[in-house]
Amino acid sequence: MQQDLRRKIISDFPLCYPNYVSIDVGDGWLNLVYETSYKLEEVIKKANLEIVEPPEDDDLFYFSSFEVIQVKSKYAGLRIYMSTETEEMSKIIEEAELKASTMCEFCGEEGRMTKNHGWLTILCNLHDKEV
C-alpha cells in the first residue's frame, strides 16, 4: 500500500481535501487520482474566485466550498464524490472514471473488468492470474 502517495494527494491539494478523506482505491489508480486532484484543484481555485463576485442569482454562490468528500472504488469503477461541483469539475471526474475503467487497480497497466473472489475489479493479465 502506497500510504505516502495517499498522504501526498491530501496534502498537495488543500482545496480539494480541506478535510481528511481516505483514498479507498488500489495503488494502481493512485497516480490517476493524483492527476485528477491536480486538475480539480485548479478548477476549484478558479471557481472560488468567481464566487467572490458572483453573478446575480447564481446558485453556486450559496456553496462556499467545493471539496472532495469521497474517493473509492465501487463496482470496479473509480468514484470521486464532491460536496458540490460545477460542470467543468464533473467532466474532469468523468474522464478519470473512464480512464480507470481500463486500468489495473493493482499496478496501473492496461486492464479489463474481471471477477476476483466474487468482486468485480479491473485487472491486467498479470494480476488477473495472481489474485
* Residue window 98-117: x/- pattern of binding to Zn ion, with contact defined by CB under 5 A: ------x-xx-x--------
Distance of closest approach, residue 102 Cβ to Zn ion, in angstroms: 12
- Of residues 39 and 127, the one with the C-beta less far from Zn ion: 127
Distance of closest approach, residue 49 Cβ to Zn ion, in angstroms: 40
Of 47, 78, 92, 127, the residue at the interface with Zn ion (CB under 5 A) is 127
Distance of closest approach, residue 67 Cβ to Zn ion, in angstroms: 31
- Of residues 69 and 131, the one with the C-beta less far from Zn ion: 131
Three-state SS sequence of the chain: CCHHHHHHHHHHCCCCCCCCCCEECCHHHHHHHHHHHHHHHHHHHHHHHHHHCCCCCCHHHHCCCCCEEEEEEECCEEEEEECCCCHHHHHHHHHHHHHHCCECCCCCCECEEEEECCEEEEECHHHHHHC
Q: Is residue 124 within the footprint of Zn ion (CB under 5 A)?
A: yes
Distances in Å between the alpha carbon of 78 and those of 9, 54, 102?
A: 16, 32, 11
Binding footprint of Zn ion, residue count (CB under 5 A): 6
Q: Is residue 82 within the footprint of Zn ion (CB under 5 A)?
A: no
Which segment (10-18, 41-49, 60-68, 119-127) binds Zn ion by CB under 5 A?
119-127
Q: Which of 47, 35, 17 is nearest to 78 (CA)?
A: 35
**Chain positions contacting Zn ion, by CB under 5 A:** 104, 106-107, 109, 124, 127
